[in-house]
Amino acid sequence: MRKAVTKVVFIVWLWVVGYGLEVDKKELADNARRVDFVNYTGPYTRPQGMDDLRVIGETLALLRQTNRQIFYPDMKYSILRAVDERQTNGFDADIVEIHTNARIFHVRYIQALLSFYLAKTFAYDKAENDTIAWFIVYYNAVHRGDWTFFQSRYKSVVMGFLSRQKVGLARRYTDWPGKTQIVIPLSQNPLNQSLRLDTLALGDEKTIENLRKQPGKGVEERRELVEIQKEQVKEEEKIIQEAKKEVSEEKKEIAKQKEEITKKEAEIQHEEKEVTQKKQEAATLPPGPEKEKAKEEAAKKEEEVKQQKQQVEQQKQEVAKKEAAVAEQEKKIAQAEQKVEQAKQQIATEEKKIAQDEKKETTTSTPQELQKKEQELAQKETNLIKQEQTLREGLPPDIKGGKLYYLKINGYYTDGHYSNEMLIIDPVNRKVLQKSPYTSIGGHKFDFSPEGIVVIGFEPLPGTGTRATRSDNREVLVGYEGPRPENYVLVMLNETNLGVRYKGTDTIFWRSFVEVRGESIYVLIPEKDKYYLARFDLLFKKQSQSKEPVDPNTFISFFGDELFVNSPTQEILVLDQKTLEVKERIKP
């Protein structure tokens, strides 16, 4: 078995989204150092391409987004968000775990998986996602197994999910499956509680100096980081201006309220004089009904004035609270402005260093050395292209890991109703290795997904069963309740023992194809004697449905971001793959 050593420098820390959280990139930057990875470079039994990694990363984002903290025995990767808003000291975290049966042998694939996760979770552009993903990789590699380090920086809720044996990322690929917890530190933006990536912390002095020791002085990576930092400064300046505007408006409102309070106090003073005058007038009246009436009116007026004074006092307290909040916000704004100025100085200093290093590299290199570097870069690019081509090559769609996944038909009834079972077969030695314990597979199509094998199953319904005619014309009761059109659902089987991982709830057409593309599952669903194309995510949540019916016997073909199906009138409908909206009709 061959080995390859990837030498890189860890730079910085990342900030993440969720509950007003950010990945703390300063935490990454302050703890960066050189890392050497040992990757597998031998032949792949089952190559894992970028599309596979994209689906894994985006599925993790979907699981975290839906707060599904459910872990299955055959799960290859999992995600968990650990947050405690009550504890103010320390980081919260997203924790990505690589499980025992994961097939990931190169650090580039871990970086790609994390990049796809970031893209789905935080909506950064590709360059930022890739850069931050590398930071996470090296941060976890540097602090692999350093329990004291994580304990001193993370909240107790995070530590409750971490393992001393798994925390961080090992340097060798053989130590990744079942032994890895990648920690992504999270923190909040103090100014407006919005989520952002703190790229300004990525280029700390320690990280940059480490990079400058590498061949080429890391000029390209540092330049990319500076551009990200400039965008971060622009975003923060925009936030500051918006905060200043809000403070200005709030001050105007406070001034207006103060003016109203002053006016009201003057009115109260006038009314207090009236009360005093009424009391005096009542005192001069002779005993009798008129005197009592005057006293009552004076007392009533006095009570009204008292209530008005209480209301004014309450308004004063509310204004005082607003003034305190404004003062606190102005303090935060001043701190934010100071950080922005420091960031601008940091960026300017780094740009000067990059220019100096770039000049030194050019002047100290001979033409022969420059030509050699160009050839090395060209060869590197060629190797990457070949590697990507290898990743795209795969075995037949029903072969995985040298095993044949076979849907055995046990019985066929009328109108496309089947009774099937899933098998795993050793195609070389002609042996059945595994039978699925799930015996309610009704559909005759299946497909693989990153979560497992997608089949169409039927669920029992109250009743005595459904009568059906087999292919040999024998009348039978199908199952306990039988496959019935209204109780077919999507079922996810795991690839190891073919057991059920989870089931859907939407009714699926029992003769439907099952097509998995990325994180989308395409099937037909019945509604009022018509059939529609539907797209589900990997957790069987319906994402979209065609507005126009389709032929129940249609084929489905994919091209670019479109797909092609038949309409009931035998037209060919061109649909958008995501929305399933009709983009065009083709009349043969």
Residue 206, CA distances (Å) to 53, 149, 488, 514 in order: 32, 18, 60, 53
Helix %, strand %, coil % of the chain (to 5): 45, 25, 30
Write out pLDDT tens, residues 490-509.
Answer: 999 988 888 888 888 888 98
The proportion of the chain whose per-residue pLDDT surpasses 70, expressed as a percent, equals 72
Comparing 190 with 305, the larger pLDDT belongs to 305
**Contacts of 167 by beta carbon, 8 Å cutoff, 6+ apart:** 143, 144, 145, 146, 147, 150, 181, 183
Question: 72 or 199, which is more confident?
Answer: 199
Neighbouring residues of 246: CB distance < 8 A, sequence distance ≥ 6 = 329
Residue 81: phi and psi, rounded to 5, are: -105, 120
- pLDDT at position 4: 41
pLDDT of residue 192: 67
Least confident of 109-118, 452-461, 468-477, 579-588: 468-477
Q: Which residue has the higher pLDDT, 240 or 474?
A: 240
Q: Quick one: average pLDDT of 247-272?
A: 90
Residue 461 pLDDT > 50 = yes
Q: How far apart are CA 585 and CA 578, in angstroms?
A: 17
Q: Can you tell me the mean pLDDT for 399-405?
A: 72
pLDDT digits (tens, 9 = 90+) for 53-102: 888 888 888 877 765 555 444 578 888 888 887 786 777 788 899 988 88
Cα–Cα dist 562/314, whole Å? 63
Burial class (CB in 10 A: 0-12, 13-18, 19+), 283: exposed
Q: How far is CA 393 from CA 45, 178, 560, in A?
A: 11, 27, 19
Sorted by where each begins, the domain ranges of the chain are 3-213, 239-334, 399-545
* Residue 324 token pair: 């305190």
Contact between 27 and 204 under an 8 Å Cβ cutoff? The reply is no
Is 105 in a helix, a strand, or coil? coil
The gap between the terminal CA atoms of the chain, to the nearest Å, is 55
Question: Which range (181-185, 215-219, 239-243, 525-529) has the least confidence?
Answer: 215-219
pLDDT digits (tens, 9 = 90+) for 540-556: 889 999 999 999 999 99
Q: What is the mean pLDDT of the chain?
A: 77
Q: Choose among 300, 320, 313: nearest CA to 264.
A: 313
Residue 226 has pLDDT above 70, yes or no: yes
* Spatial distance between the Cα atoms of 249 and 269, rounded to a whole number of angstroms: 31
Model pLDDT, residue 384? 47
Q: Are 38 and 173 in contact (CB under 8 A)?
A: yes
| Six-digit token string for 106 | 């190169």
Q: How many other C-beta atoms can be found within 10 angstroms of the C-beta atom of residue 362? A: 9
Range picked from 125-129, 184-188, 301-305 for highest mean pLDDT: 301-305
Q: Give yes or no for residue 537 having a pLDDT over 60.
A: yes
DSSP state letter for 485: G
Mean pLDDT of 192-205: 55
pLDDT higher than threshold 80 for residue 204: no
Asked whether the CA dihedral 413, 416, 419, 420 is positive or negative, the reply is positive
Cβ atoms of residues 480 and 532 within 8 Å:
no
* Sheet-wide strand order for 515-517: 515-517, 520-527, 530-536, 542-545
* Nearest CA among 518, 585, 516, 505 for reference residue 550: 585
* Confidence bin at 411 (pLDDT 50/70/90): low
Statement: residue 187 has pLDDT above 80:
no
Given this model, what pLDDT does residue 414 score?
A: 55
Q: Are 456 and 491 a contacting pair, CB within 8 Å?
A: yes
How far is it, in rounded angstroms, from Cα 547 to Cα 242?
A: 42
pLDDT digits (tens, 9 = 90+) for 11-50: 222 323 333 455 555 555 555 444 567 887 655 545 456 7
- Long-range contacts made by residues 102-106, C-beta under 8 angstroms, separation at least 24? 102/76, 102/77, 102/176, 102/177, 102/178, 103/46, 103/48, 103/76, 103/177, 104/48, 104/173, 104/176, 104/177, 105/39, 105/40, 105/44, 105/173, 106/39, 106/40, 106/41, 106/173
Give the pLDDT of residue 472: 47
Element (H, E) at 262: helix 219-284
pLDDT interval class at 572 (50, 70, 90): very high
> Would you say 512 and 533 are in contact if contact means Cβ atoms under 8 Å apart?
no
pLDDT confidence of 193, banded at 50, 70, 90? low
In angstroms, rounded to a whole number, what is the distance separating the alpha carbons of residues 418 and 519?
Answer: 27
- Asked if pLDDT for residue 403 goes beyond 90, the answer is no
- Cβ partners under 8 Å of residue 481, min gap 6: 460, 461, 462, 463, 465, 466, 487
